[in-house]
């Protein structure tokens, strides 16, 4: 049984967490954290998502807060995340990810060039050394031709994979065929989490790896079922969550992630503040698989404005009405 609205919002708080660098076009991340009978959980669909798309995120919050998930591991390895910054900023950013031996590098950022991407990835490889795993993420912003050209240049850095280099399943399949022999695997992210059919990319043979996020796929239970059905190795990643949401992702990673890969769940290092005194920061290249206990003083410190709080609470009410009884 899903909780009713009163139960859902009985202990709910909207926060705005300041970020160290701009990411996805924002410098502060808004989120709603709430307490269920099993512990704290999170509802934080990006503000541009409509109510229908946000409904899976509310399902995820309910699944984690109202279901007793057992951790399959004590900890999971995580990657460092490098936004589309100048090469001079790379070393400082990577220093925040203690012990991480994998880095995900943002590429194809609007207003930048392939030369910029090459310089950034080259610096990551230089700082991390030849044994590190380096992956790039284009968020579907290249065309097939642009992706082919870019990956031909980036392949020299021995990429682990290229995440969502192009937008559609059809384009992924075309690109994967075109760069066959280049040694760069293709990972699908948006083609899974934003798709009406998250298994379409696997059935089309359009990707080698699935990148899955707990919140957009309806939570730990629903995302684990998708991974099992897809039959492809998966990497669990964050949706720029607070440490509460990262805990949800860690439970999914411990249950479903392919050995040999690092999860994209080290993103607490991108924030200047969090909702807990013990954030899920990388230590020894790993984060613990645990539920996070929220610090109420930090909830007050990072509380969103009254206007933004009202916006989020109204959003929960609308989305809750879309869920089946």
Q: Tell whether 208 is in a known binding site.
A: no
CB-CB contact of 315 with 52 (8 Å) = no
Q: Tell whether 137 is in a known binding site.
A: yes
Annotated catalytic residue 213 = yes
| Strand positions, DSSP E, 5-147 | 12-23, 26-36, 39-43, 75-77, 80-82, 102-106, 133-137
Residues 6+ apart with CB under 8 A from 88: none
- Catalytic member of 13, 135, 213, 291: 213
Residues 6+ apart with CB under 8 A from 299: 13, 15, 33, 275
- Catalytic member of 29, 69, 106, 286: 106
CB-CB contact of 39 with 220 (8 Å) = no
- Computed from CA positions of residues 181, 184, 187, 191, in that sequence, does the dihedral angle turn out positive or negative? negative
Total residues belonging to the chain: 325
Q: Tell whether 51 is in a known binding site.
A: no
CB-CB contact of 207 with 172 (8 Å) = yes
**Pairing mode, if any, of strands 26-36 and 39-43?**
antiparallel
CA 171/CA 204 separation, integer angstroms: 11
Nearest to 56 by CA among 188, 169, 198: 198
Binding site members for Mg(2+):
137, 163, 189
- List active site positions: 106, 213
């Amino acid at each position: 049984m899903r909780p009713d609205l009163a139960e859902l919002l009985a202990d709910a708080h909207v926060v705005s967490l300041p970020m160290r660098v701009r990411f996805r076009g924002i410098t502060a991340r808004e989120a709603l954290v709430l307490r269920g009978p099993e512990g704290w959980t999170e509802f934080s669909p990006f503000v541009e998502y409509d109510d229908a798309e946000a409904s899976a995120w509310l399902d995820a919050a309910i699944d984690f807060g109202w279901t007793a998930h057992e951790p399959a591991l004590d900890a999971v390895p995580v990657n460092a995340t490098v936004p589309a910054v100048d090469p001079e900023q790379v070393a400082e950013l990577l220093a925040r990810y203690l012990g991480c031996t994998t880095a995900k590098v943002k590429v194809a950022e609007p207003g930048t060039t392939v030369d910029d991407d090459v310089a950034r990835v080259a610096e990551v490889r230089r700082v991390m050394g030849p044994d590190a795993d380096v992956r790039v993420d284009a968020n579907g912003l290249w065309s097939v031709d642009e992706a082919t050209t870019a990956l031909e240049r980036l392949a020299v850095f021995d990429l682990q994979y290229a995440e969502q280099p192009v937008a559609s399943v059809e384009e992924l399949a075309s690109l994967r065929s075109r760069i066959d022999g280049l040694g760069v695997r293709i990972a699908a992210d948006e083609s899974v989490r934003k798709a009406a059919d998250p298994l379409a990319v696997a059935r089309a043979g359009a990707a080698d790896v699935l990148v899955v996020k707990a919140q957009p796929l309806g939570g730990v239970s629903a995302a684990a079922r998708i991974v099992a059905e897809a039959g492809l190795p998966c990497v669990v990643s964050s949706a720029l969550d607070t440490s509460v949401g990262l805990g949800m992702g860690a439970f999914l990673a411990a249950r479903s992630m392919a050995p040999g890969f690092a999860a994209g769940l080290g993103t607490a290092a991108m924030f200047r503040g969090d909702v807990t005194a013990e954030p899920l920061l990388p230590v020894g290249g790993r984060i613990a698989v645990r539920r996070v206990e929220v610090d109420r003083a930090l909830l007050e410190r990072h509380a969103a404005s009254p206007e933004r709080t009202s916006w989020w609470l109204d959003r929960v009410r609308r989305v809750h009405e879309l869920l089946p009884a």
